[in-house]
Amino acid sequence: MNNDPKIQIIHLGGLGEIGRNMMLIGFEEEYLIIDCGISFPPSDLLGVDLGIPDMTFIDKISNKIKGILITHGHEDHIGGLPFLLNHTNAPIFSSKLTHGLISVKLKEFGAISKTNLNIIQPFKNINISKFSVQFFNVCHSIPDAMGITVNTPLGMIVHTGDFKIDHSPTDGKLIDFQALGSLFSSGVLALCSDSTYAELKGFTPSESQVTLTLYDEIRESKGRVIISTFASQIYRIQQIIDACKMTDKKVSIVGRKMSTNIKMALKLGYLQDSKNCITDINSLLKLPDKKCVLITTGSQGEPTSV
């Protein structure tokens, strides 16, 4: 029997499906978890609000889990954390905005006080037991999205997180390919890459194209504009605020979760509202319809979103 050390890469969700992203990397009986998200069930699955990864294996190794690494703050990557923390008390590592979104979520579940949350800077090496970990910036539809490298004695595992190649991102922060080239120069043992829509021809349009479309729609509207998006879609919310600023309109937020996330993002500086375009719903309803924009959650028809 071969007793040479081996690396385990185990997916508990997110392969061949949208949502429930969760992956484990194991080496010599120690494990790191990357992401823990939820999925939304189909409309014909009555009585089910959401799906989470199968935690059966987690129960078997709970005392061997050394850390939970989070790539970004979308629900399909962090939504399952409150449930995961019923099975392990491992520390959580993420970027600053993702940390804020996780904090909001854990407060909802009353789990924030018992959780060890850590903010990680990109390209800064951290040691977690037998693993050496670095986060690196990627472009996505939310700020502070990260890929992750996990170094082991047998080689480097790279997990890209969700990403796209965007040459004009909303915040102007491009993927630093030169830095990545240096980071990967010693070789990569395995690459675990986002592949959503990879089977389709063409490429994903830049976020700047969305900015222009939103501006045109809001500017040309003669009545109220209602826009739905994810509660964590910070870039999209900023684009709407900017369009309202340029068209002299006011915007209100509908939905408790989105309101909480926006307050957090404004406080941390990830959202800017220099002209106080955001107003409460009661004040908005007193304005002419052509001056009103509303942002709400539920862009995928999730019944529990608002």
What pLDDT, in 10s, does the model give residues 163-210? 998 988 888 889 999 999 999 999 999 999 988 888 889 888 888 888
CATH number of 207-296: 3.40.50.10710
Q: What is the pLDDT of residues 99-152, one digit of tens each?
A: 999 999 999 999 998 899 999 999 999 999 999 999 999 999 899 999 999 999
Q: What is the pLDDT of residues 224-236, one digit of tens each?
A: 999 999 888 899 9
Give the predicted TM-score (pTM) of the model: 0.91
At 19, list the tokens.
Answer: 């949502």
Q: What is the pLDDT of residues 256-287, one digit of tens each?
A: 889 999 999 999 999 999 999 999 999 999 99
Q: Which CATH number fits domain 7-192: 1.10.15.40, 1.10.1740.10, 3.60.15.10, 3.30.465.10?
A: 3.60.15.10
CA dihedral over 297, 98, 130, 189, signed as positive or negative:
positive
- Domain boundaries, given as residue ranges, for the chain: 7-192, 207-296
Q: What is the pLDDT of residues 48-93, one digit of tens each?
A: 888 999 999 999 999 999 999 999 999 999 999 999 999 999 999 9
- Please tell me which residue, 41 or 175, carries the higher pLDDT value: 175
